[in-house]
Structure 1
């Protein structure tokens, strides 16, 4: 997903006239060594912070269908991330750098989302909105001065660009749909059961099958006759 956001930003900036002017758009870290090797006008779009947007985390899964309309997979919900970039312009004179940076700023502030023609790969397949916020960074993102200090370079005018992009969920293949009915096969008995092995089920006067089941009641002794008052037994 990250490289697809990079490609979307490159297409956005090239479409704003940078490619026609011979300005190269790169995604390298603007270190001191990199700046010394640079020779042509360049716009550097450096990614330095990636954070998940937990407020947009979902729990429901989606279904993937084939050409016949059958469900072939289930995909977990996409998870959203904020990608923060440091955009700088590099030229032989500060005036040229400011002109380049102004051209980039005019392009970014007029763009709220990356259009479908700028999306590739999984971003294009998901069909979700990829938002662009220029001129600021996230509340938790490192400050530009801290980034320059970590890179070991000199502080330059820069733009903070934040992109909110979805990361496609994991797809799990489901079993194919059932197309045949239930098939039952019967096997003939090899022979009659022996008398000792046969057990007749008795349900008379038995309400609880117990551990042996209803068949275990055949060995149960009859209940004793109730006594009448006076000592005689009732048959």
Structure 2
């Protein structure tokens, strides 16, 4: 799933901000060593955090139906994972980096979710929106300065892009066969010449009719 989000973001960046340019899109950690080796204008999209989006968690089970609209199995609902990306521009001049960041910001703001035509693999199969936010304040337990400190680099202007991607947990519970008969009631005592042993539910005109069953008294 993560590599599918990576590819969708790569295409989105190229189509929305870098169309007509030969600027590279990289997913490497933007460390000092990486920056020293860079020799061309680059947009870096670095995945620095993965955690569950608890606000989107669903409870219960979802039914699966066959062509006769009969439940054949039940499965857990998808879980949503928040993939946080640090997006930076790398050129020779800060002014060019700022222009590139501005173009990237406008491109991301055009979308509340990754465009469906960019989704592939499990993201396309699951058929749910892949929500996306940009430049929101970070959670209280995380600061961007800490991310740069962990990378060993200097603080640099960046965009925080967070993608909430649905993931199928893969847990399926087969359903039992559907009920074919109604409830039988034992009313067999003290019935004279005939003994009533129960009622049998049968479909009648789209409704359920109760048929009385008798047997000769011994």
Normalising to structure 1: TM-score of the pair?
0.67
Corresponding residue number in structure 1 for 2:122: 122
Following superposition, the deviation at residue 91 of structure 1 comes to 1.0
Instruction: Give the secondary-structure state (helix, strand or coil) at the position aligned to 1:18.
Output: coil
Maintained 8 Å contact 1:132/1:163: yes
Q: Deviations over 1:4-43 (max 9, x none)?
A: 2111211111111415301111111100011111111111
Maintained 8 Å contact 1:84/1:137: no
What is the rounded CA distance, in whole Å, between the counterparts of 1:141 and 1:23 in structure 2? 34
- Alpha-carbon spacing, 1:66–1:28, altered in 2? closer, same or farther (3 Å): farther
Corresponding residue number in structure 2 for 1:8: 8
What is the rounded CA distance, in whole Å, between the counterparts of 1:118 and 1:90 in structure 2? 25
Say which is worse superposed, 91-100 or 40-49, in terms of deviation: 91-100
Instruction: Give the secondary-structure state (helix, strand or coil) at the position aligned to 2:28.
Output: coil
What is the rounded CA distance, in whole Å, between the counterparts of 2:67 and 2:43 in structure 1? 44
Corresponding residue number in structure 1 for 2:165: 165
What is the rounded CA distance, in whole Å, between the counterparts of 1:171 and 1:20 in structure 2? 45
Q: How does 1:1-235 map to 2 (within 5 A)?
A: 1-64=1-64, 73-140=73-140, 142-172=142-172, 174=174
Following superposition, the deviation at residue 75 of structure 1 comes to 2.6
Larger proportion of strand? 2
What is the rounded CA distance, in whole Å, between the counterparts of 2:67 and 2:100 in structure 1? 48
- Alpha-carbon spacing, 1:73–1:40, altered in 2? closer, same or farther (3 Å): farther
Unaligned runs of 5+ in 2: 179-218
Say which is worse superposed, 125-134 or 12-21, in terms of deviation: 12-21
Structure with higher Rg: it is: 1
Unaligned runs of 5+ in 1: 179-235
Following superposition, the deviation at residue 63 of structure 1 comes to 3.9
- Alpha-carbon spacing, 1:140–1:126, altered in 2? closer, same or farther (3 Å): farther
Instruction: Give the secondary-structure state (helix, strand or coil) at the position aligned to 1:161.
Output: strand
What is the rounded CA distance, in whole Å, between the counterparts of 1:17 and 1:120 in structure 2? 21
Maintained 8 Å contact 2:17/2:107: no
